[in-house]
């Protein structure tokens, strides 16, 4: 995927400021296009990352029991309104055949997939599917809880409303005890 076009973002922000009736040449706004371009470079940096790369290096450890990294904070941008949604992700999996991932890689996968124009459902399922394909574990279960600024500061205006999504793969689909174990641990 192509790298972010900084001059184009700067021009777009100048146009946007003009379009809302602002003067992009007034002192306080002079550096705003540059700042916004820099910010977008950061918040959309995941567009150039394939999360599969985080699971190319694995460890060999005979642990075929639950692994859960919970309360991973994340920030993303809703693709409908380009305003933030943010919250916590919980990533669980059961390794198979001694294929164990570095724990930080679970958080890195959430981070990379969040840093794009997104839907909460897609963050949840993309990371689950990536882990299933690369680690080939017994199962993956991901729960994401987030507050969407597009439901808080505008539109329906419901601050505090939380959206919870889950993606359940492999053994978690058939074993309700294992699902319950994850839910109990993330409470
Ligand atoms: N499924 C899903 N919807 C989202 C997400 N983020 C924002 N939305 C919703 O996207 C929808 C877009 O609806 P539209 O009717 O096209 O846009 P709108 O007129 O701005 O909608 P309102 O927010 O209801 O004012 C809204 O219902 C948002 O709440 C997300 O991550 N997943
Ligand atoms: Zn939105």
Surface-to-core class of residue 22, CB atoms within 10 Å of its CB (0-12 exposed, 13-18 middle, 19+ buried):
middle
Q: Tell me what percent of the residues of the chain surpass a pLDDT of 70.
A: 99
Which tokens is 157 given? Answer: 């205006």
Which tokens is 124 given? Answer: 């949840």
> Which residue's C-alpha comes closest to atom 22 of ligand 1?
155
With bands split at pLDDT 50, 70 and 90, how would you rate the model's confidence at 3?
confident
Q: What is the pTM of this model?
A: 0.94
Instruction: Kindly state the average pLDDT of the residues 150-163.
Output: 97
**Catalytic residue (one of 41, 81, 145, 147):** 81
Is the beta carbon of 121 within 6 A of some atom in ligand 1?
yes
> Which residue's C-alpha comes closest to atom 6 of ligand 1?
78
Instruction: State ipTM.
Output: 0.86
Tell me if residue 58 falls in helix, strand or coil: strand
pLDDT the model gives residue 119: 98
pLDDT the model gives residue 1: 53
With bands split at pLDDT 50, 70 and 90, how would you rate the model's confidence at 137?
very high
Best residue among 145, 148, 150 to mutate for probing ligand 1, ranked by most atoms within 8 Å of CB: 150
| Mean confidence (pLDDT) of the chain | 97
Q: Which domains does the chain have, with CATH numbers?
A: 6-44 (1.10.286.10), 53-186 (3.30.1130.10)
Instruction: Kindly state the average pLDDT of the residues 150-177.
Output: 97
Whether residue 138 lies in the annotated active site: no
pLDDT the model gives residue 76: 98
CA distance 13 to 161: 30
E-state strands within 67-153? 67-78, 84-94, 99-101, 117-118, 139-148
State the residue for tokens 């669980």.
92
Whether residue 2 is predicted with pLDDT greater than 70 in this model: the reply is no
Whether residue 42 lies in the annotated active site: no
Whether residue 176 is predicted with pLDDT greater than 70 in this model: the reply is yes
Short-list 101, 100, 71, 105, CA closest to 86: 71
Short-list 116, 115, 133, CA closest to 73: 115
Whether residue 60 lies in the annotated active site: no
Is 176 within 8 Å of 129 (Cβ atoms)?
Answer: no
Tens of pLDDT, residue by residue over 72-81, are 999 999 999 9
Tens of pLDDT, residue by residue over 44-97, are 999 999 999 999 999 999 999 999 999 999 999 999 999 999 999 999 999 999
User: Please, which residues have CB less than 5 A from ligand 2, an ion?
Assistant: 78, 80-81, 150
> Which residue's C-alpha comes closest to atom 1 of ligand 1?
119
């Amino acid at each position: 995927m192509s790298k972010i076009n900084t001059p184009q973002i700067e021009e777009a922000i100048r146009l946007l400021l003009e379009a809302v009736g602002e003067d992009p040449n007034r002192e306080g706004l002079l550096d705003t296009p540059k700042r916004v371009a820099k910010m977008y470079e950061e918040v959309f940096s995941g567009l150039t990352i394939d999360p599969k790369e985080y699971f190319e290096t694995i460890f060999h450890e005979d642990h075929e029991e639950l692994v859960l990294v919970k309360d991973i904070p994340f920030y993303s941008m809703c693709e409908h309104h380009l305003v933030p949604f943010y919250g916590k992700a919980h990533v669980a999996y059961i390794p198979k055949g001694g294929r164990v991932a570095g724990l930080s890689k679970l958080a890195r996968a959430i981070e990379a997939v969040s840093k794009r124009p997104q839907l909460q459902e897609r963050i949840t399922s993309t990371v689950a599917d990536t882990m299933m394909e690369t680690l080939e574990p017994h199962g993956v279960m991901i729960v994401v809880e987030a507050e969407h600024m597009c439901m808080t500061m505008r539109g329906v205006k419901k601050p505090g409303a939380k959206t919870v999504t889950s993606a359940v793969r492999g053994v978690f689909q058939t074993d309700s005890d294992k699902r319950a174990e994850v839910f109990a641990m993330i409470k």
